[in-house]
Amino acid sequence: MDILNHRLVDCEAVHLTCSKNTRPLVSPDTIVLHYTAGTNALSTAYYLTRPDVAASAHLVIDRNGDIIQLVPFNVEAWHAGKSFHLGRVNLNHYSIGIELDNLGKLRREGDKFIAECGKEVPASEVFVDEQEDQPTYWHRYPETQLRTVVLVCALLSEHYPIRYLLRHSDITPRKIDPGPAFPQEILEM
């Protein structure tokens, strides 16, 4: 895998066109990780490329590690929203956004775990967070997907002056993604 003309090459990445994004992104120094909370990576990617949707991302990484690129790395994507980090605001101006195919926070209904979109998650894919008084349930990230995230972040760091690897929840109190199921040690790489 490599980057050529601000796009992933030498891999089997699918490239979509997100023509609504046109503002240049010069020397991004931050990567922001998100979860999709959608039913699958491809439907999320197509949704984010729609001209009537005020959101986008540079990449969507499927649960099996497949990559979909929506926006070149030298073009600003709309993933961070109202955001701030170390005195800077509007992190879309400084960052590459990566969406991870993950259903996010789940609700428990008896023996079932249900995502916000209504999809049932098998118990083997549930991460239980017991940091609070009551346990919360989250969609687990598969190892294949996490390996791809690490590889992509390392590659981006080779090509751009990346200094920060952040969660969406690190840059705005409005968001909780990628959630406690995302391994902290990846953020410390």
> Domain coordinates of the chain in residue numbers?
2-102+141-187
Please give the structure tokens belonging to residue 6. 């601000």
Instruction: State how far the Cα of 165 lies from the Cα of 79, in Å rounded to an integer.
Output: 14
The domain at 2-102+141-187 falls in which architecture? 3-Layer(aba) Sandwich (3.40)
Q: Say how many C-beta atoms besides its own lie within 10 A of residue 186's C-beta.
A: 16
Could you identify the residue written with the tokens 């090459």?
A: 9
- pLDDT tens sequence across 30-56: 999 999 999 999 999 999 999 999 999
0.95 cut: is pTM over it? Answer: yes
Q: What is the mean pLDDT of residues 4-21?
A: 97
Q: What is the pLDDT of residues 73-104, one digit of tens each?
A: 999 999 999 999 999 999 999 999 999 999 99
